Structure 1
Amino acid sequence: MKQPNLKLLFYCCPEVAIMRIAIFAFITALSAFLLGAVAQTQATCPEPAHRQTDSVFVVRQHIHAAMPGLLERYQVPGAAVVLVQDGEPNWSHGYGLAIPDRQIPVDPATTLFQAASVSKPVTALTVLTLVRQGRVALDQAILPQLQGNTGSWRLPASSYSRDAVTLARVLSHTAGLSVPGYGGFPPGTPAQSLLDSLHGAADAGNTPLKVVQPPGQGFRYSGGGYSLLQLLIREWADEPFATAAAHRILEPLAMTNSRFPTLPSASPPLAATFNDQGQRAPARHFTALAAAGLQTTATDLARLLTLLMPGHRGEVPGRGVLQPALIDRLLTPMPHSDNDLVLSGSRYGLGMALYELDSGRRLAYHPGDNLPNWHNLIAAIPERRVGLVVMTNAAGGRALRKDLLCLWLDALNEAHPEGRIGGGCASVERIPMQVIGET
């Protein structure tokens, strides 16, 4: 900018000189301010999301790029994946086909899957609502807490103390109970009553529920224990188990496509499932709803995970459904709960398996496997407010979910326990950072 001859202006026209001096000073100051602001903005602006190595964008990239290959490798017709970020469901995608012979794609928000043992965390949370109300106590024997309106069934006497079978031990599979899991009933076969199943489950080798090892002394996975919880919930909530779970957990979390049905939904929206030979097989139904009967979508299960963590708007764990202290108890390993449910070296809390990552953060997870071949997984790192849901409809889903867990942990820069996952993980490669479409 050319400076004026101030001396000449001052002598010839002092008023004009003063005005021009003021304008020149203002323009000079304004230029300096704007240049400084630009420099400060350049210095403090965060990097774009695609450059942040710990962003949801990177996690999406890894999973979205890997999923088509995983479906092909493990011969899985369809899968739904949802991510939780900052305490809320953030991204979802359907892969492959829910109904291959009708070319119906998987939609993570509307395609129904059997959640299988992922039913157990919902059951555990339902029990904790009764604890919150003071109706039952975690560390007291479970039998005296039944109201007595249970027909002719009682936990059979054994050489082990039934008084040591506490509610917390049943929730954590440390009560020493029998009946690991249930096969369910094929179409046309009526399900048993709950009391008959407790006497001897027809879809579990006619095995009665009983104490078969010292309570509190070790982990013994027991779907039968969750049938006992189903009875407890029915008695203390004073309504059918499915209704109580809906009123206390599913509805408050807006899990609008989730329920515990006595019979599977029509297909669609229920995904088709396939036997070990790749042939389509009909969905089964269950007496043991609390252990294996949840029917849901991947998007709904992501909402369930949010209950375990804070939200980005200041929400606390429990989200008003449960107190944070009860969520903390759920995520605290029970004594003698060491297990290899999916990750070798895991422990178990009140309805969730727990694994300590190399970072010191705690991974909470639960697999789900129903016949013929529903294979699912939910996982969360509550401290980081992140989560993963994957639901599949064929035998290969069991291996797919392990690889996806490794990919997810790798994308989060959490050292994944590759050597401690049964069967190992597929090699995890960094994905080129390119924009990928998403739903």
Structure 2
Amino acid sequence: MEIFSTNNDLHAYLTDLILPVHLRGHGAQITQEIMSGYNTPGISLAILPPTKSAEEYSKTNLLTSTFGIRDCSDSQSSVDAETTFQAASISKPFTALAVLRLVVQGKLNLDTDIEEYLALDKNHAVVREELHTSTTVNPATVPRTPITLRLLLAHRSGLSTVSGLAGYYGKWAAIPSTSATINGDPEANNLPIRAFTFPGLGTSYSGGGTTVVQHILTLVTGKSFPVLMRELVLEPLGMSRSTYEQPIPGSGPRFNYAKAHHNAHTGYTGGTECIIYPEMAAAGLWTTPSDILKGLRVVFDCLSGTTDSSFLPPALVAESFTELNGFGGFGIGWMSETIHTDSSSGTGTGKRRVMLGHGGSNQGFRCGLVLVGDIPLVGSTVPVANATPPVGIAWMSNSDHGPQLASGIVAAFGWLVGAPLRLGGLKLGGPPAAQRFFPVLIRTPADRATVDKQTEGWRAWKGRWRMKAGADVALYGPRVDLEIEEDDGMPTMRISVLADPKARAVLLPAAFHHPEAIVWVVRDMDVAVAMKKEDNLEIWQNDEAYEAERD
């Protein structure tokens, strides 16, 4: 399949993809009215396109595309590839990279109890025993379990009384210190960051735990968090448009930043143009899609053994990309999910095809980062033998509703590269979070052949269907009948609850890769039909999957 090779190619593809179906192919452009239909002022994207060989990959640059505006009150404030956004929780895996760099330098150990590092603070602002004490964990009656950096970065430390962080309006002087945030002091707007469960027992997402990591990094290095992150991570990775400074500097080239919005027409206000996140390790990174994808690419390339970067040893990178204990979805900072495993090449040389990345959600910003590539199985050698070059996509929006647009774009890119990419969590199968389904673009004979191959056999689902008990009540009422027929070689579907129950909705092939289903878009509706194996039919709507059975 042919794929775009220039920024103009990418922009043209995304333009047609985003446009309503009736406007495609007529030279229409993405206006703010169309962006308003997705409820977001602006979006910026970067992709790492697929390549066929290591040599081709080494010569391939990221591609970028942007749409919309930085500020809904200024129609001239166009988003460009240099516009910075708040990366929200994508800040976390890059914070993990700083920890790994200090591990290599011998200044940190992933498996040492953090008491050793907290003791560097002679003022004892954060006390290890207090972290382990809460209404749900009493150290007097349970054994003391080590809290380590590895557990903190894999969200398995148990310090999850504070999962997410709200940020602050107002002046910097009113912002609490890191230790005040950890202890939940009066100037902080969160509860104390304390044990919710025992360390190591399971995954419990914790922005609070990452804030403890922030405190440790400043103690060990003796530097402010923005400075240490710039020196240890951002500059070595070439992330020149990135900073952990809070608030973002108000002058110079970095002033090209997107403002926070609730929706396409409503910006956040309250004395500042953007909400401040002093919990910088967890949520404070300002960056661009190309910077974060570039950074992840450099780290991933350490696995090849051929990169000029000496950023991290290959074995440590492989460890960071591997789910802790094979469970929970997190390695050392990164979300990781296996697509398939290949151990056929012999002992010590196995590999896994994985999705790596992270999502982000701050007030007024939503973003995502996904890279698909081959990493070694636990115990296998590095570099990976016969690795397929990675592909990836990063997106950033300045609206709480950004996923309405981004989810369809991510799914469409996954369709192009044959990988089940998703928005948000990296869970295989099922509908993507914040659904927005796009019909595929058939631009070449190869595209047509790919669509025909992926939709082959759909006629086996023709006939009458009924939503299963429970699902239909949740959707529309006591009963929903469906009927799939064929018109001019394409499927149509009658839906009993539409205004005209005899009308037939047209189904179009969806730009959404699912390894075990034929997925269709109901034309002009944010609804998809998944024809799954074993004669199973699902309707995807509003982030839910509703099953149907033969009637």
* TM-score, structure 1 normalization: 0.77
Which deviations, in whole Å up to 9, do the C-alpha atoms of 1:94-140 show, x marking residues without a partner? 111122432121112x2111111111011000010011111111122
Q: Which residue of 1 aligns with 2:411?
A: 406
Count matched residues.
Answer: 372
Q: Which has the higher helix share?
A: 1
Does residue 106 (structure 1) correspond to residue 79 (structure 2)? The answer is yes
Asked whether the 8 Å contact 1:147–1:236 carries over to 2, the reply is no
Q: Which residue of 2 aligns with 1:326?
A: 316
Does residue 122 (structure 1) correspond to residue 112 (structure 2)? The answer is no
Q: Which residue of 2 aligns with 1:392?
A: 397
Quote the Cα distance in structure 2 between the aligned partners of 1:392 and 1:203.
Answer: 30
Q: Describe the shift of the 1:348–1:314 C-alpha distance in structure 2 as closer, same or farther (beyond 3 A).
A: closer
Query: Which residues of 2 match residues 296-315 of structure 1 at below 5 A?
Result: 296-310=287-301, 315=306
Shift of 1:313: 10
Aligned partner of residue 443 in structure 2, secondary structure: coil
Does residue 209 (structure 1) correspond to residue 204 (structure 2)? The answer is no
Quote the Cα distance in structure 2 between the aligned partners of 1:225 and 1:312.
Answer: 28
Asked whether the 8 Å contact 1:278–1:394 carries over to 2, the reply is no
Asked whether the 8 Å contact 2:302–2:313 carries over to 1, the reply is no
Does residue 79 (structure 1) correspond to residue 28 (structure 2)? The answer is no
Quote the Cα distance in structure 2 between the aligned partners of 1:116 and 1:201.
Answer: 23
More displaced, 197-206 or 80-89? 197-206
Asked whether the 8 Å contact 1:183–1:204 carries over to 2, the reply is no
Quote the Cα distance in structure 2 between the aligned partners of 1:431 and 1:161.
Answer: 61
Query: Which residues of 2 match residues 278-317 of structure 1 at below 5 A?
Result: 278-281=265-268, 282-310=273-301, 315-316=306-307
Which deviations, in whole Å up to 9, do the C-alpha atoms of 1:209-234 show, x marking residues without a partner? 11110211111111111111111111
Shift of 1:395: 2.0
Asked whether the 8 Å contact 2:118–2:219 carries over to 1, the reply is yes
Q: Which residue of 2 aligns with 1:437?
A: none
Identity value in percent: 25
Q: Which residue of 1 aligns with 2:360?
A: 368
Q: Describe the shift of the 1:311–1:144 C-alpha distance in structure 2 as closer, same or farther (beyond 3 A).
A: closer
More displaced, 200-209 or 409-418? 200-209
Q: Describe the shift of the 1:202–1:375 C-alpha distance in structure 2 as closer, same or farther (beyond 3 A).
A: farther
Higher relative CO (Cα under 8 Å, sequence separation at least 6) belongs to 1
Aligned partner of residue 246 in structure 1, secondary structure: helix
Q: Describe the shift of the 1:307–1:185 C-alpha distance in structure 2 as closer, same or farther (beyond 3 A).
A: same
Higher radius of gyration, 1 or 2: 1
Q: Which amino acid aligns with 2:262?
A: N
Aligned partner of residue 47 in structure 2, secondary structure: strand
1:426 to 437, 451, 457: 437
Q: Which residue of 1 aligns with 2:220?
A: 236
Shift of 1:381: 1.2
Q: Which amino acid aligns with 1:187?
A: G
Aligned partner of residue 274 in structure 2, secondary structure: coil
Q: Which amino acid aligns with 1:66?
A: L
Query: Which residues of 2 match residues 42-191 of structure 1 at below 5 A?
Result: 52-53=1-2, 62-67=13-18, 71-85=35-49, 86=57, 89-102=61-74, 103-108=76-81, 110-149=82-121, 151=123, 152-155=125-128, 156=130, 157-158=132-133, 159=138, 163-178=145-160, 179-188=162-171, 190-191=174-175
Which deviations, in whole Å up to 9, do the C-alpha atoms of 1:62-93 show, x marking residues without a partner? 54532455845422111110112436642111
Q: Which amino acid aligns with 2:165?
A: Y
1:220 to 204, 210, 219: 204
The gaps in structure 2 that reach 5 residues or longer are 21-33, 50-56, 342-351, 375-388, 422-427, 446-551
Asked whether the 8 Å contact 1:94–1:106 carries over to 2, the reply is yes
Q: Which residue of 2 aligns with 1:10?
A: none
Q: Describe the shift of the 1:172–1:327 C-alpha distance in structure 2 as closer, same or farther (beyond 3 A).
A: same
Q: Describe the shift of the 1:229–1:59 C-alpha distance in structure 2 as closer, same or farther (beyond 3 A).
A: same
Asked whether the 8 Å contact 2:35–2:264 carries over to 1, the reply is no
The gaps in structure 1 that reach 5 residues or longer are 1-51, 339-346, 435-439
Aligned partner of residue 134 in structure 1, secondary structure: coil
Asked whether the 8 Å contact 1:63–1:408 carries over to 2, the reply is no
Aligned partner of residue 335 in structure 1, secondary structure: helix
More displaced, 400-409 or 241-250? 400-409
